[in-house]
Structure 1
């Protein structure tokens, strides 16, 4: 698996979309890999809380939530920054709502979120993915503090929230993941000494992007 920057990954995804693999399908594939991974653990995930931001990383998390629910897992979704802002992510939120999966707003229902976490064996970090840089806002640090507390396993989708994918810089309050799932390609922070402790075990996964879509990196 190659190591690529965030901008290179965006180009790879654009190449894939132009070759016929839609962004919608890439999101579906990413979420499916996350759900499959959690269900393959020993013991398999029986209860999960998905923390979702408002970008496409949240969409990956919504897909995972839907597929975990279909597999018999008890699932709760937490919106950490209001409603999602991309079309694919909004559609996947509608799908999980139609299934009756509970959706909480963190800022308005913090106590309920904390209660849900007490009964969960795993949490999914689908807040920022590779879109994070700089420092976590105070409101988001409240989210990551709750997410990090309790000692349960955490699966970060593409990158732990609070870690910059390109530089490996770690914001105070960053998520400390048990596993980080690297979609399609590794990112620099997956390999940098300062960010590795926050990534935990790196799990590289294929999301269906054809090999020729990576040729820009040659």
Structure 2
């Protein structure tokens, strides 16, 4: 599913109006009618229920006016709290406001202190609050009146439904300017706004419903829209299908260079992640002194001892051995727990430079790329980089705060500059392709915030590439399956969940993704797809 910026959605709306002749007042009618239907679903039965709609002066408020009319027709008791004076309304919103006035729907203009007191009373007795204050055009700090409205809504402890986006959220970045409405549900029109999935905004959006309002389909599927929400249907289409005649050689060969003294666990997690993702053969190259340990620890993974440094990590003498092994593999993954000995980092850079296979770089291999990202253009195979925000900050010279402020923009720019696929990990992991295409992930949970989970992801992506997926598809599917396995592992035990808990859930996650029409139902909550039996 495509996701849009605020400017992209405005252009789509305007094109529908000017080129297809769909009046704006009709689009607003469709949006408000569908909003009313969603409200009725959330507080069913709607008859005799008290609903308070907070409306602004723009199109967002207009959607609220239409919804008010339809809800009244269904027997609800509706009060519209208009922030500002009705004389300031214009355009399509004014048309629909005049209609609710003719229907004598209760409208309270919030222009003075007594009006706000009346609104507080209305909120106290309401069954549901609707945030139709500000839409996707909002940027910067809220006005004093909007701050009052947001405080009133958030303090009410009622079911809150936001229209298009919660007021106070930036539709493009998900950033919150001071405060924002905390919604249980967000009803967004046409296409989802990308900021709904990026934290902190995702925590304010609640369960997201994307509603068709009659915009021509090809406008919403335009190739010029470069952001996508990763959906179960997309993953189902791209996951590898294993024929009944398959043997281990058909399922791909992964070469993993990982581990060092004190960090053998990272190597084990990544290697097992590749096996669990379906790779036929996985070989781990590790410092010679650690080889015997891994022989015992990893039953299904082949191990190869490599020349090492004094500190127990691979050194430059390992380069020819790795280069030879790469020739018999389908993908090279390098970095988990590798260590930061200068000899090791030099070896990583030389291996990247000479490599001719698809490449996955994580952890200490990313550290080796600091001030050396030009090497990524020299490697013979397309590289997939999997940095978290701290690693991305180091690679780009930015602060972590700056990375988190503009995650989509920074991931996209880095992918273009480095001509690599960038997997910017975190809540709503961003997968960026060199051509500017973006995928926003919808699985995962805070239980994944523990050491080793990134190593598992490295293994999953490498395992998918080995099975024949393009690096692009493997990155998107790998992130999704990794998050879904984390969701399965977290059921009833999110706190204290370990990276090792994810590994046995990977096959089940793949099965669920491949058979999404089975007994599992999906819903999007806080920008993530949740599964229930």
After TM superposition, the score normalised by the length of structure 2 is 0.40
The answer to whether the aligner puts 1:154 opposite 2:160 as a matched pair is yes
Q: Deviations over 1:84-105 (max 9, x none)?
A: 5332111111111111111111
Alignment partner of 2:109 out of 93, 100, 105: 105
Aligned to 1:24: 25
Contact 2:150 2:180 in 1 (8 A): yes
Does residue 96 of structure 2 align to residue 95 of structure 1?
Answer: no
Contact 1:130-1:164 within 8 A present in 2 as well: yes
CA distance in 1, matches of 2:64, 2:204: 19
Q: Distance in 1 between matches of 2:138 and 2:103?
A: 30
- How far has the Cα of 1:185 moved from its partner? 0.5
Aligned: 1:10 with 2:15: no
Q: Report 1 or 2 for greater relative contact order, CA contacts < 8 Å, sequence distance ≥ 6.
A: 1
Deviations 1:143-187 (A, max 9, x none): 111111121111111010000101111022310011111101011
Q: Which residue of 1 aligns with 2:479?
A: none
Answer yes or no: is the 8 Å Cα contact 2:43–2:128 preserved in 1.
Answer: no
Deviations 1:114-137 (A, max 9, x none): 111111110111111112111112
Could you say what the CA RMSD is over the residues aligned between the two structures, in angstroms? Answer: 1.4
Give the Cα–Cα distance (whole angstroms) in 1 for the partners of residues 137 and 30 of structure 2. 19
Asked if structure 2 preserves the Cα contact closer than 8 Å seen for 1:8 and 1:217, the reply is no
Which residue does 1:181 correspond to in 2?
Answer: 187
Unaligned runs of 5+ in 1: none
1:34-183 correspondence to structure 2 within 5 Å: 34-45=35-46, 46-83=49-86, 84-108=88-112, 109-183=115-189
Whether contact under 8 Å (1:53, 1:80) holds in the other structure is yes
For residues 47-76 of structure 1, what are the alpha-carbon distances to aligned partners after superposition, in whole Å with 9 as ceiling and x for unaligned? 111111111111000000000001100000
**Unpaired runs of 5+ in structure 2?**
226-533
**Partner Cα separation in structure 2 for residue 197 and residue 151 of structure 1:** 16
Q: Pick from 224, 239, 245: which aligns with 1:217?
A: 224
Residue 107 of structure 1, CA deviation: 3.0
Indicate the SS of the match to 2:208: strand
Q: Alpha-carbon deviation of 1:42?
A: 5.0
- Tell me the TM-score normalised to structure 1 length: 0.95
Taking the aligned partners of 2:142 and 2:68, their CA distance within structure 1 comes to 25
- Residue 129 of structure 1 aligns to a residue in which SS? coil
Structure 2 distance, partners of 1:143, 1:72, is 26
User: d(CA) in 2 for partners of 1:82 and 1:189?
Assistant: 30
CA contact (8 A) 2:38 2:187 kept: no
Distance 1:85 1:42 in 2: 29
**Whole-Å separation in 2 of the counterparts to 1:136 and 1:2:** 28
Q: Which has the larger radius of gyration?
A: 2
Tell me the distance in 1 between the aligned counterparts of 2:81 and 2:124: 14
**2:131, 2:166 within 8 Å by CA — same for their partners in 1?**
yes
Structure 1 segment 192-203 matched on structure 2, within 5 A: 192-203=198-209
Count how many residue pairs are aligned between Structure 1 and Structure 2.
218
